[in-house]
Structure 1
Amino acid sequence: MTALIRIIKSEIYDLTRSKWLVLYGAFFWGIVDLLWRFGSNGTQVIVSLMNIVLYIVPLLILVFCVMYIYNLREYIQLLLTQPIDRKIIYIAIYIGLALPLCAVFLIGLGMPLIYIQLDPASHSAFISLLVSGLALTLIFSSLAYLFTTIFEDRIKGLGAALFVWLTSTIFYDALVLFILFAFSDYPLNNTTTILSLLNPIDLARIFLLLKLDISALMGYTGASFSEFFGNSLGAGISVLAMLVWFFIPLLIGLRKFIKKDF
């Protein structure tokens, strides 16, 4: 336990000196402030923020985590020479990486609430937005950690990370549209519901829109998800599915890290 805490503290200290982390938090703070000044109401601001969080957070987290962990390779090899269980090393490095990222996201997105006056309904929606952003941060940092464990070459690791982001955004939307047009004569509700469970970004979007109760922005997958599970159960299922998306890459990466020859 002592080794775990020491490694986590070391990681957090190293990350707090990163200029990128400051810029990451300042970016969200500035976006919230800008949207609030020019937006007409809280719901409009949150919907605009939703698109930024859903697409920008996964990309930035993937790229930063992949590059950071590859730069940490010599430090990891040094830790492996110490009498420390590999499980502790792997988990400690992830916690030390994920905690500052989550904290900076919360500060950047949440601190403007000090001077922004939101109505009670918008407060609830804003909390849902924070939950979605934190879930995406944990999921895609877990995926990035997995890629750096699998691939020795950082170009391959970064390529895999970018491919996952493209697949979860552009390629996924294209696939859904193709299925809808190609099989328009068949009932597709169950199919699109399964597809949404296979995409963490779509799950976060559905969770947020179910909380906002904005059916017009749900799209076909969101509408099918809501129809299949209902709003309350659907939100719970989406959270459960995102937890699965977080734990599975982390456990696979841990298994590979334990067996890996450095």
Structure 2
Amino acid sequence: MVSTAFKAVVRRDVATMLHNRYLQVFALLLMGGSAAVVATTDASAPASFGMLLLFLYVIPLFGILVGVHAAQEEMEEHDLLFSHPLSYDVFVRGKLLTLAGALTAVLTLALLPVILRVTTGRPVVVLWALGVSLTLIWSSTGLAIGALTSRRTRGLVAALCVWFGSLVLYDLAAFTLSGFEAVRAWPAAWVGLLLLNPADAVRLAGMMALQDVSFTAPGSSEIVAQMLAWTPAWVAVLTVTWTIGAIWIAQKALEPGAANG
């Protein structure tokens, strides 16, 4: 049964979310980008992979920024808020539900141009599921970073560093490692390294499910093919584990006595 406190947190956040500038920019970029992807692809070519790339760069960035903002927007009121019968767990879960719901609503609308283009619904379902996965992972990460940092500037800088590190630096390091013979001898370990990164896991799952492009690991083997075949299930496990972990971190960071930076 949903508690009264949880409902109150959700209602409060829904009211403020509509005025969130990060969410407004996110909606403009994602919906505009979706229309551009469909308009610039040939009528006979699938637009699904272009949408996957759009999701991979836009959803993590704005998911983490919106999460940081949501965690810190009423920081000055925390003493008053938590003097009421409101637990830190309910507070964080209510915020995550609102954030994920708003971001999911936007990405659903952004898929409308793709629905008009494709002949089957499978690519849309795959894109929607992967988009929701990215939404949960990155908005919960934003909440955790926002709760860990007491100053908004530090929170935003930390969020941008995490986003850039995950989507750029991590892949750059993986690409560099792929050139070593030792890594080529253990292709499964290299693919496993990629699958630990949520952005790369979602990318690989999308590539395998949409079948728009092929993926080749250095020194590929049969075990690599088996690992890639299970990427959708792995993304589901990673999403649940990552989200629960981020919620726990945010909750502990908000508790009295926690040392926030």
TM-score bin (small chain): 0.7 to 0.9
Alpha-carbon distance, 1:113 to partner: 5.0
Q: Is the Cα–Cα contact under 8 Å of residues 58 and 165 in structure 1 kept in the other structure?
A: yes
Q: Is the Cα–Cα contact under 8 Å of residues 68 and 144 in structure 2 kept in the other structure?
A: no
| Bigger shift: residues 146-155 or 132-141 | 146-155
For residues 183 and 19 of structure 2, the distance between their equivalents in structure 1, rounded to whole angstroms, comes to 57
Q: Is the Cα–Cα contact under 8 Å of residues 7 and 93 in structure 1 kept in the other structure?
A: yes
Q: 1:103: which partner in 2?
A: 105
Taking structure 1 as reference, are residues 244 and 91 closer, same or farther at Cα in structure 2, changes over 3 Å only?
A: same
For residues 182 and 26 of structure 1, the distance between their equivalents in structure 2, rounded to whole angstroms, comes to 42
Pairs aligned (count):
255
- 1:237 maps to amino acid: W
Q: 1:171: which partner in 2?
A: 169
Secondary structure class of the residue paired with 2:97: helix
- 1:112 maps to amino acid: P
Taking structure 1 as reference, are residues 21 and 159 closer, same or farther at Cα in structure 2, changes over 3 Å only?
A: closer
Alpha-carbon distance, 1:145 to partner: 0.7
| Bigger shift: residues 124-133 or 23-32 | 23-32
Q: Is the Cα–Cα contact under 8 Å of residues 33 and 54 in structure 2 kept in the other structure?
A: no
Alpha-carbon distance, 1:151 to partner: 1.6
Matching of residues 17-166 of structure 1 within 5 Å: 17-41=19-43, 44-107=46-109, 109-112=110-113, 116-120=116-120, 123-166=121-164
Taking structure 1 as reference, are residues 26 and 151 closer, same or farther at Cα in structure 2, changes over 3 Å only?
A: closer
- Percent of aligned positions with the same letter in both sequences? 20
- 1:63 maps to amino acid: L
CA deviation vs aligned residue, 1:48-67 (integer Å, no higher than 9, x gap): 12111111211122223223
For residues 260 and 201 of structure 1, the distance between their equivalents in structure 2, rounded to whole angstroms, comes to 33
Q: Give the TM-score, by structure 2 length.
A: 0.86
| Bigger shift: residues 64-73 or 166-175 | 64-73
- 1:234 maps to amino acid: T
Secondary structure class of the residue paired with 2:111: helix
Q: Is the Cα–Cα contact under 8 Å of residues 42 and 118 in structure 1 kept in the other structure?
A: no
In the alignment, structure 2 segments of 5+ residues that lack a partner are none
Q: 1:182: which partner in 2?
A: 180
Taking structure 1 as reference, are residues 23 and 203 closer, same or farther at Cα in structure 2, changes over 3 Å only?
A: same
For residues 16 and 36 of structure 2, the distance between their equivalents in structure 1, rounded to whole angstroms, comes to 31
- 1:257 maps to amino acid: L
Q: Give the TM-score, by structure 1 length.
A: 0.86
- 2:246 maps to amino acid: P
Alpha-carbon distance, 1:220 to partner: 2.6
- 1:27 maps to amino acid: L
Which structure is higher in helix share? 1
| Bigger shift: residues 27-36 or 135-144 | 27-36
Alpha-carbon distance, 1:176 to partner: 0.9
Alpha-carbon distance, 1:144 to partner: 0.8
Q: Which of structure 1's runs of 4+ aligned residues deviate more than 4 A?
A: 223-226, 259-262
CA deviation vs aligned residue, 1:197-234 (integer Å, no higher than 9, x gap): 32000011111111112452x3538x778513252x33
Taking structure 1 as reference, are residues 3 and 26 closer, same or farther at Cα in structure 2, changes over 3 Å only?
A: same
CA deviation vs aligned residue, 1:116-168 (integer Å, no higher than 9, x gap): 24211xx2112211111111111011111111111212232222211211121
For residues 17 and 147 of structure 1, the distance between their equivalents in structure 2, rounded to whole angstroms, comes to 21
1:244 aligns with 2:237: no
Secondary structure class of the residue paired with 1:32: helix
Q: CA RMSD in A?
A: 2.5
- 1:74 maps to amino acid: E
For residues 7 and 196 of structure 2, the distance between their equivalents in structure 1, rounded to whole angstroms, comes to 34
